[in-house]
Amino acid sequence: MMSTRENAQSSAPLSGLRVVDFTRVLAGPHCTKTLRDLGADVTKIEPPAGDVGRGGVPHVNQMSVYYAQQNAGKRNLSLDLNWPEAREIVAKLCKDADVIVENFRPGTLDRFGLGYVQVRAFNPSVIYVSLSGYGQTGPWRNRPAFAPTVQAEVGLTDILQHHFGEALSELRNDACSHADLYTGLHGVIAVLAALTHRNRTGEGQHVDVAMAAALLSVNERAGAQLSDVDTNGEPTALSAPDSHIFDLPDGRRVTIATSPVYSPSFMRFCAMMRRGDLLRDPRFKTAALRRQNLKPLLEEIRAWILTFDDLDALQAQVSEQNLAIGIVRTTRELAESDWARDWGAIVEVDDRGGNKMRMPGPPWRFSANTLPPPGAPAFQGEDNAAILREVGLSDEQIAALRVKGVILSRRSPRGAFD
């Protein structure tokens, strides 16, 4: 029986896919949330202490907005796996699952009889995805891993420090948890690939996804960084990540998607600015010299941009060189844009208190499928009774488990258990 919150439509691409979700915080929940938004029926298994993500601020009507963003639409079963009755219940769910996703430290679920080898014994076709910092094997397998630490280990923090070829005054972390989010999406890719393999062969499998490897794979500069080739001051990766920010006369700020340090882009800047004289300026003759004289070069570009009162006129002149401009906006400003309204980029999610929270909508449009509505975030253990009835327990048995402390539920991060 499907919860009223899990109102997935039968035409969604992953409709009918049964997912057991042992994940918490961000990487794993983002993986399973993506599967849910593609139509899968996701049952989240939450421990007595609750998902740490429930503590993410702000809270609206006792519900964490952070938690809701990654878990809306999932069913929720909260139990204590230290009880054999709880392990038996979860094993029944895993027996019927198409996909299991977990992001504990390697070996954690083995101790509860729910590791891949143990589950495979009674569900050989299962696709079991493990997300961790550094993989299930190897010298770093037991290291704790959070997005900032993995980003530091794999070079992202170093890239940020030297972003424009000039070291920042102090090291700093990125504002977004790239390692978690990319790992979650690579987990989705793993599920889809393994499903294709199973559809062809009938064979399930275990997929090991490492945060460090995921983040390294999406570093478009990695090949250049590993090549040890001296670029003579030229930015790597076509220079787009080195784009600068410029002020407009009306106070808005824009970026042009390239760096004038990069030789081909410098020629484009000179052409769109109608400044052939800059091509002959000895300060800007090479990439190394432009990097050395970056401040006066950027001053020339800023002065040119300030001659435009009309953003469309600026874009037209920039477009002559097949470049693009982007306005620096806040997330809220983007949400109010015509594009966001047309795309449906922002959706309203039930805040469980009679109102709505605004969240990012799906990034896909399928011509042959209809995606499910956003769904609502569950309180901890909210679906205990419904899920336990599905696996064959009577109301009396469910009540006994509740009294014993095997299952539990609560409505707030700090609230009392029912």
Torsion of Cα atoms, 26 then 32 then 38 then 39, to 10°: -140
Q: Residue 392 and residue 377: Cα distance in Å, rounded?
A: 25
Active site residue 180: yes
Catalytic residue among 180, 242, 350, 351: 180
Helix (H), strand (E), coil (C) string for the chain: CCCCCCCCCCCCCCCCCEEEECCCCCHHHHHHHHHHHCCCEEEEEECCCCCHHHHCCCEECCEEHHHHHHHCCCEEEEECCCCHHHHHHHHHHHHCCCEEEECCCCCCHHHHCCCHHHHHHHCCCCEEEEEECCCCCCCCCCCCCCHHHHHHHCCHHHHHHCCCCCCCCCCCCCCCCHHHHHHHHHHHHHHHHHHHHHHHHCCCEEEEEEHHHHHHHCCCCHHHHHHCCCCCCCCCHHHHHHCCEEECCCCCEEEECCCCCCHHHHHHHHHHHCCHHHHHCHHHCCHHHHHHCHHHHHHHHHHHHCCCCCHHHHHHHHHCCCCCEEECCCHHHHHCCHHHHHHCCEEEEECCCCCEEEEECCCCCCCCCCCCCCCCCCCECCCHHHHHHHCCCCHHHHHHHHHHCCECCECCCCCCCC
Q: How many CB atoms lie within 10 A of CB 177?
A: 20
- Which amino acids are annotated catalytic? 180
